[in-house]
Structure 1
Amino acid sequence: MTQHPGTSYPPPHQPGGYPGSVPPQQYGPPAFAPPPMAPPTAGWELERVDMVGGTEFGLAQLRVPPITSGLAIGSLIAGIAAILVSLLTACFGILEASEDWGAWVTGAFTLLTVLAAGGAIGAGMIALRQIRRSGQTGKVRFTGRGLAISGIVCGVVGAGIGVLALSLGLLSQVS
């Protein structure tokens, strides 16, 4: 029997293979096996199983845990930013009213305050609508109504402080 180059058949006269060859490795479980992972269903509950007609398969529908609305979080962040910028506006409007550039800086910061407040109010209103419409069968349920309302309130307060600071700055500029 002749052997072609590149084949790994052991020659018939040597049971272990070629002279100087390494014995074959035994395959099996590793010495350390990682623990089995938990199924990825933590926090998920099985709502129902619909069987697919004519087969042995089914369609599992899971109940998704509620998610905090990103719009509500963004509304609160924009509302807090509106309050912080409006306080900066008040500092420039009241303290730097005697300078010529105080009214310009106060106006610019008031515009920034009103934009942030408008974003907070708009995102909060959309978040409230999103939260109210969520939770029907087959849809994700959103939470965060308190965050959305807080964002709207912070936006209104920030805009009020900013406009009040602008009017105080303009009044002190005139006098």
Structure 2
Amino acid sequence: MTQLPGSWQPAGPPAPMPGPPPVLPPKPSEAWTPERVEPVPGTEFGLVQLKVAPITSGLATGSLIGGIAAILVSTLVLCFGISGLSDGWGAVVAGAFALLGVLLGGGSAGLGLAARRQIRRSGKDGRVRFVGRGLATAGISCGAAGLGIAALTLLLVVVLQVS
């Protein structure tokens, strides 16, 4: 093969691509662990039920994230309410953030209750088993705390604004 003048030809084999090595699939013994094998009568076959690892409930995780956000927003209610008292805008801005804090707190408490119900009902009759009861409880607690702090802080700011 001859090279024409001005045409491009590769100099050699391509350089290897930088990055991590490819991930090998798990061994069959690790990927498919049978939980129960039931033989089919009259045949040489059997039904295999595979073991499924428990899954952390997304509702519980969302509840905790919402509860933490409710506490952070209720802190904003306090900061804006106290800093705006002298100028007269503290109660208005604190009220807007208090509404957001109450919605976040109530929503995260509701999600936490739904997550606890989901976790309690899972794992029966071959269903996926959900875990995360502690996350759900923490989400309920943080959501209720954020809701309460936002409401009490708004009440304090309004009383201080009027007097």
Whether the 8 Å contact between 1:66 and 1:141 is mirrored in structure 2 is: yes
Q: TM (normalized to structure 2)? A: 0.78
Query: Hey, what does 2:33 align to over in structure 1?
Result: 45
Query: CA deviation digits over 1:25-51, x for unaligned, max 9?
Result: xxxxxxxxxxx8543553653112234
Question: What's the offset of the Cα at 1:134?
Answer: 1.2
1:1-175 to structure 2, matched below 5 A, reads: 38-39=26-27, 42=30, 44-52=32-40, 56-175=44-163
Please report how far the alpha carbon of residue 168 of structure 1 lies from its aligned counterpart in structure 2 after TM superposition. Answer: 1.0
5+ residue gaps in structure 2?
Answer: 1-23
Q: Per the alignment, in what secondary structure is the counterpart of residue 48 of structure 1?
A: strand
- The DSSP-based 3-state class of the residue aligned with 1:42 is helix
Report the residue type matching 1:137 in the other structure. D
**Cα root mean square deviation, aligned:** 2.1
Q: So what's the TM-score if we normalise by structure 1?
A: 0.73
Structure 1 residue 142: Cα displacement: 0.8
Alpha-carbon distance in 2 for matches of 1:63, 1:44? 8
Give 1 or 2 for the bigger CA radius of gyration. 1
List alignment gaps of at least 5 residues for structure 1.
1-35
What is the CA–CA distance in structure 2 between the aligned matches of 1:159 and 1:73, rounded to whole Å? Answer: 18
Distance 1:110 1:38, change over 3 A: closer
Q: How many residues align?
A: 141
Q: Distance in 2 between matches of 1:128 and 1:43?
A: 29
